[in-house]
Amino acid sequence: MKATNVLEELKRRFPNEPEYHQAVEEVLSTIEEEYNKHPEFDKANLIERLCIPDRIYQFRVTWVDDKGNVRTNMGYRVQHNNAIGPYKGGIRFHASVNLSILKFLAFEQTFKNSLTTLPMGGGKGGSDFSPRGKSNAEVMRFCQAFMLELWRHIGPETDVPAGDIGVGGREVGFMFGMYKKLTREFSGVLTGKGIEFGGSLIRPEATGYGNIYFLLEMLKTKGTDLKGKTCLISGSGNVAQYTAEKVLQMGGKVLTMSDSDGYVYDPEGIDREKLDYIMELKNLYRGRIREYAEHYPGVKYVEGARPWGEKADIALPSATQNEINGDDARQLVANGVMAVSEGANMPSTPEAIRVFQDAKILYAPGKAANAGGVSVSGLEMTQNSIKLSWSQEEVDEKLKSIMKNIHEACVKYGTEPDGYVNYVKGANVAGFMKVAKAMMAQGIV
Ligand code: NDP
């Protein structure tokens, strides 16, 4: 396999899908060497079968808004690969959603899920519906209409969706309710459910906490930890909030948070009480981050910008893809950042990744660092299957140990001759090998 040839062919067959091409290129360029050690893989054309999703469902979602207008959105589910378990991956509701974005996310998810060591394949879905500015009733009607199509393609042993951008506990609850009504079955078909109906403790916290557990493992390799370290966090949604919470618990200082309108910089640090304010603002009132700066004196709000120009020890991108470009990365490095650990999926552009790696700073790609979310989703599936609920401590311990194992796998496959750990290569090779072996064993299907 020659990575560039495979990529060119994919670009020819699936044009106008830049995010999908970007994710595939990153993986192929790092697994090429390992792949070529196994001529049997190439004979079975494993690489194309791994890059092209098993199937994609695409449908129209029609719903009625509060004013009685009939609205349409597009709905999708990309079932990428189920060699090691049922398809598993979140649902994203955001105006920017398109097939390229969902294909990149489903592709990444396949390797991430493999890394967790849990039996989960990769998938992703969503809609170009944006919950922003919609009433509760509108969100409910949309979720119900979306599930009216999706339900026939998913199931607890087939495909188990979860949340992602724009899909939190509220949306998962509405979708679960409709699935249950349609199938007359109470099952673990979605994860991220409410705690009263099959949800797992620590699931809301899992992605953010997991990212910090991973970061701590990386810092340990440099003989340090988070105490007294300053952190830049982007986003103020689920991942960002619990990333901030864990940073505070570990003795770090959170300087920034953001949303799609801009970022806030608090030189005093966003402490526990201030984080509670953000959680209430975002989760209860669905407000804007700008209001934080209006509420607390001495806080700077920068409209239409991302926080990467600020000086700090650690960067924790937790909003969306391609939110750190080459210039941002150079600025971060010039300001002395020592670690970047990705809560979001693919937040750094390929150029930004090169800048971090050339500077030899600790850099963890999302598929390793944010795998805590899907890991606890996997634990939620297990609890649903055995009809038991584990305690907070039990789930948190399991999460910690999974993140530690992922870190070890990255070090094993990603350590370069000079001792620098290329976490991108480590995560890709470790994730790839397991899926590849399972696919080989299962024949040409
Ligand atoms: P949320 O919807 O809860 O929060 C997303 C945050 O990012 C919001 O603050 C949002 O601002 C901001 N944001 C979204 N899109 C953009 C954009 N285009 N530009 C700037 N800011 C933006 O989502 P999550 O916290 O769940 O997800 C964040 C990231 O983490 C995503 O990349 C997701 O794929 C990834 N992830 C999530 C997991 C999970 O368990 N939830 C698991 C693994 C990865 P605004 O309010 O203005 O829209």
Structure confidence by residue, pLDDT tens digits, 116-128: 999 999 999 999 9
CB atoms within 10 A of CB 2: 11
pLDDT of residue 366: 98
Q: How far apart are CA 202 and CA 335, in angstroms?
A: 34
Asked whether the CA dihedral 383, 428, 341, 315 is positive or negative, the reply is: negative
The set of catalytic residues is 124
195: its two tokens: 């705690």
**Cβ atoms of residues 281 and 258 within 8 Å:** no
pTM reported for the whole predicted model: 0.97
Question: 347 C-alpha to center of ligand 1: Å?
Answer: 10
Q: Whose CA is nearest to atom 4 of ligand 1?
A: 237
Residues in the chain: 445
222: its two tokens: 């440099």
pLDDT of residue 298: 97
SS3 label, residue 59: strand
- Residue corresponding to tokens 């970047």: 340
**Cβ atoms of residues 91 and 169 within 8 Å:** no
Q: Mind listing the pLDDT tens digit for each residue in 39-85? A: 999 999 999 999 999 999 999 999 999 999 999 999 999 999 999 99
Q: Whose CA is nearest to atom 22 of ligand 1?
A: 260
SS3 label, residue 440: helix
Q: How far apart are CA 137 and CA 135, in angstroms?
A: 5
Backbone angles phi, psi at 377, to 5 degrees: -60, -45
Q: Which one, of 95, 92, 108, lies nearest residue 161 by Cα?
A: 92
pLDDT of residue 384: 97
Q: Which one, of 62, 54, 93, 61, lies nearest residue 75 by Cα?
A: 61
**Edge to edge, what strands does the sheet with 55-64 contain?**
55-64, 70-81, 122-127, 87-93, 159-162
pLDDT of residue 59: 98
356: its two tokens: 């971090």
Q: Side chain identity at 64, as an amino acid letter? A: V
Question: 239 C-alpha to center of ligand 1: Å?
Answer: 7
362-364 and 253-259 beta bridge pairing: unpaired
DSSP 393-419: HHHHHHHHHHHHHHHHHHHHHHB-TTS
List, run by run, the mean pLDDT of 10-residue segments along the chain (445 residues).
92 97 97 95 95 98 98 98 98 98 98 97 98 96 98 98 97 98 97 98 98 98 98 98 98 98 98 98 96 98 98 98 98 98 98 98 98 98 97 98 98 97 98 97 96
pLDDT of residue 3: 86
Q: Whose CA is nearest to atom 39 of ligand 1?
A: 164
Q: How far apart are CA 76 and CA 8, in angstroms?
A: 25
Question: 345 C-alpha to center of ligand 1: Å?
Answer: 9
| Site to substitute for ligand 1 among 92, 127, 164, 213, most atoms within 8 A of C-beta | 164
Q: Whose CA is nearest to atom 3 of ligand 1?
A: 237
434: its two tokens: 């397991």
Distance of CA 107 to the CA centre of its chain: 12
Residues in the ligand 1 pocket, defined by CB under 6 Å: 94, 163-166, 168, 207, 235-240, 259-261, 318-320, 343-345, 370, 373
Q: Which one, of 237, 266, 218, 132, lies nearest residue 407 by Cα?
A: 218
CA Rg, the chain, in Å?
Answer: 21
pLDDT of residue 1: 82
Residue 213 half-sphere exposure, CB side, CA atoms within 13 Å?
Answer: 25
SS3 label, residue 166: coil
Q: How far apart are CA 271 and CA 290, in angstroms?
A: 17
Q: How far apart are CA 301 and CA 102, in angstroms?
A: 32
44: its two tokens: 């079975």
Q: Which one, of 211, 205, 340, lies nearest residue 279 by Cα?
A: 205
236: its two tokens: 């103020």
